[in-house]
Amino acid sequence: MNKLKQILFICHGNICRSPMAESVFMHLVKARGLEHEVTAASAAAHTDEIGNPPHRGTREKLKEVGIPLIPHRARLLTREDGEKYDLLIGMDEYNRRDILRIVGAEKACKVKCLLDFSARPRAIADPWYTGNFDETYRDVVEGCTALLDSLFPDRRGR
């Protein structure tokens, strides 16, 4: 039996992009029947929002598209997360650098940016600043789909 793959999504405050990615990813996982093979969670690279629920824009966007929001309160990424999780997925280069600072450079092989898995690698803009949760959602879906396809190439789009 394969070991359960554990993915941790990380953004600056863990209230916009990373909880959106966690919810979208797990929605895709369930749609493909992979919930016994992979799981996800999310965390913050900074302490600004610790304990807060997901941003209203994230909650509203997920509700609009019919994706259940995974119950969540922002929590800080820890060094131990570098041991526990198989992949640590940031939303942009700043997140990637923060992740390495927290978990240690020796975990660099586990640290990626979400859209690195897509055909068009780029940062996912932070809707905290842009206010554009629609664009963030499209990028998150693209990245989560590409990530899932890379983890399970024989079960693409099922």
Residues with a catalytic annotation lie at: 11, 17, 126
Q: What is the largest CA-CA distance in the chain?
A: 44
Query: Residues 119, 95: contact at Cβ < 8 Å?
Result: no
Q: 107 CB contacts (<8 Å, ≥6 apart)?
A: 82, 88, 100
Which residue blocks in 88-154 are alpha helix, DSSP H?
A: 93-103, 127-130, 133-151
Cα 103–28–12 angle (5° rounding)?
A: 35
Pairing between β-strand 87-90 and β-strand 111-113 as defined by DSSP bridges? parallel
The residue type of 68 is P
